[in-house]
């Protein structure tokens, strides 16, 4: 049976969640189930506490990450989506990703800190824009989920993949920044 992480944390079933609410709910659940609270209990109760803690961590990590949260929400809304096996069908998106990778290589090869800062700003803006798109698409999907129609979710799936790429690109930008700072 599929776990509903939103329900587990007492959060509304929505792509947009308040991080503070998630963090508060997580801490509360962890306080209730942390294995240290059960050191004097039977081994079975200690094992259950360890399992609950692991489930809380898995749910928290999924809801904390916009990409994982989107995948989980898709599944809960009846739209099976396995990010690891999904093939992006948008050729322009794939070409754009290759262009961004090329830009990053050029910045790194030229030790271009100004270019890195500018590119980081661009990636941050693109990420925010993508989060807004995904939010709006989920609102639309949630309104369609009560009807009999089966909506086309391929644009949403492509946007989730694009967000994953942007997150990876931002991480790579941070690594390049660390490398460039070491060279100065």
Q: Where does the pLDDT of residue 162 fall: very low under 50, low under 70, confident under 90, or very high at 90 and above?
A: very high
Residues 82-93 pLDDT 10s: 888 888 877 888
Inter-residue long-range contacts of 68-71, CB under 8 Å, 24+ positions, other chains counted: 69/15, 69/17, 70/15, 70/134, 70/138, 70/156, 70/160, 70/163, 71/160
Residue 3 backbone class (left: φ over 0; alpha: ψ -120 to 50; beta: rest)? beta
Q: Closest Cα to residue 137, out of 68, 60, 80, 73?
A: 73
Euclidean distance between CA atoms 72 and 2, whole angstroms: 10
Give the model's pLDDT for residue 78: 85
Residue 145 pLDDT exceeds 70: no
Euclidean distance between CA atoms 74 and 124, whole angstroms: 24
Mean confidence (pLDDT) of the chain: 90
Percent residues over pLDDT 90 in the chain = 63
121 CA to centre of own chain: 20
Residues 73-123 pLDDT 10s: 999 988 888 888 888 877 888 899 999 999 999 999 999 999 999 999 999
Higher pLDDT, 181 or 64: 64
According to DSSP, residue 149 is labeled -
Euclidean distance between CA atoms 39 and 45, whole angstroms: 9
Give the model's pLDDT for residue 148: 58
Q: What domains are there in the chain, each with its CATH number?
A: 5-64 (1.10.287.110), 91-183 (1.20.1280.20)
Residue 31 pLDDT exceeds 90: no
């Amino acid at each position: 049976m599929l776990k509903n992480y939103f329900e587990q944390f007492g959060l509304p079933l929505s792509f947009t969640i308040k991080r503070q609410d998630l963090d508060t709910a997580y801490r509360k659940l962890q306080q209730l189930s942390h294995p240290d609270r059960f050191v004097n209990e039977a081994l079975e109760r200690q094992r259950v506490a360890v399992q609950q803690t692991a489930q809380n961590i898995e749910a928290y990590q999924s809801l904390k990450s916009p990409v994982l949260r989107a995948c989980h929400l898709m599944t809960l809304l009846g739209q099976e989506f396995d990010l690891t096996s999904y093939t992006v069908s948008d050729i322009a998106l794939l070409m754009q990703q290759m262009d961004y990778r090329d830009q990053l290589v050029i910045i790194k090869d030229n030790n271009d800190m100004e270019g890195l800062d500018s590119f980081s700003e661009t990636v941050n803006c693109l990420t925010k824009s993508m989060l807004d798109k995904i939010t709006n698409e989920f609102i639309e999907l949630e309104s369609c989920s009560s009807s009999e129609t089966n909506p086309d979710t391929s644009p949403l799936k492509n946007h989730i993949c694009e967000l994953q790429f942007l997150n990876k690109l931002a991480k790579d930008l941070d690594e390049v920044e660390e490398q460039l700072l070491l060279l100065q």
